[in-house]
Amino acid sequence: MKLSCPACGSLSSLDALLGNEGAREAVMAALAMPAPLGKLMVQYLALFRPAQRQLSFDRVANLLNELQPMIAAAKIARNGRICSAPQDYWKQAIEEMLNKRDKLTLPLKNHGYLLTIIDNYSNKAEARKEQQHEDQLAGRTPVGGTTHTVRTEPPEVSKGEVPRKPRTQMPQTVKAILKGGNDEKP
């Protein structure tokens, strides 16, 4: 049974693939990837294939093994800092690269551009979170107004109105009666 790898274009039998150490590592690395990224990852790996040659299974295994720990940890190290990288970021970044395939210099040499896109997503998310925090501190609501403060003092009374007494706590005897326990007499 001959199989063709959609990422590297290699033709081989299943027996030969499982007997080849590089192919075995590539299959194991692919199986360690989260399922939602599987199809996209195959298309992404095709961006590393040289125009006139096939991508070796050793290279596929290395590429996958470089990404797998970052995807599993949902973090990347970029520009001297650790960035959040949930699966959604990986999916969106790979899709973005695949959509820009015609503008990329192929074959890719490393994951630098993918990691840059994910870093940008993380930076934008952090900026949104910081802006929300600043808005909250400044008293701005999501719709652009200002937050309303709860009054601790009674509002001013208009002429002719009788001011209401502030509420006091309900006596325990009344609470007991309301609960059905008529043990205490008022």
63: tokens are 């590429």
* Chain position carrying tokens 């940008």: 120
* pLDDT at res. 182: 53
* pLDDT at res. 32: 78
* pLDDT at res. 124: 93
**What is the residue-level pLDDT of the chain in tens, covering all 186 positions?**
566 666 566 677 766 666 677 777 777 777 778 888 888 998 999 999 988 888 888 898 899 999 999 999 999 998 888 999 999 999 999 999 999 999 999 999 999 999 999 999 999 999 999 988 888 887 777 665 555 554 455 555 556 666 666 677 888 888 888 887 555 554
Q: Taking the domains of the chain in order of start, what are their residue ranges?
A: 2-138
Tell me whether the omega of the peptide bond preceding residue 166 falls within 30 degrees of 0, making it cis: no
Kindly write down the DSSP assignment for every residue of 115-149, as one continuous string: HHHHHHHHHHHHHHHHHHHHHHHHTB-TTSSBPPP
Kindly write down the DSSP assignment for every residue of 51-82, as one continuous string: TTSPPPHHHHHHHHHHHHHHHHHTEEEETTEE
* pLDDT at res. 170: 80
| Residue type at position 106 | L
- Is 61 within 8 Å of 22 (Cβ atoms)? yes
- Is 115 within 8 Å of 78 (Cβ atoms)? yes
* pLDDT at res. 82: 93
* pLDDT at res. 163: 65
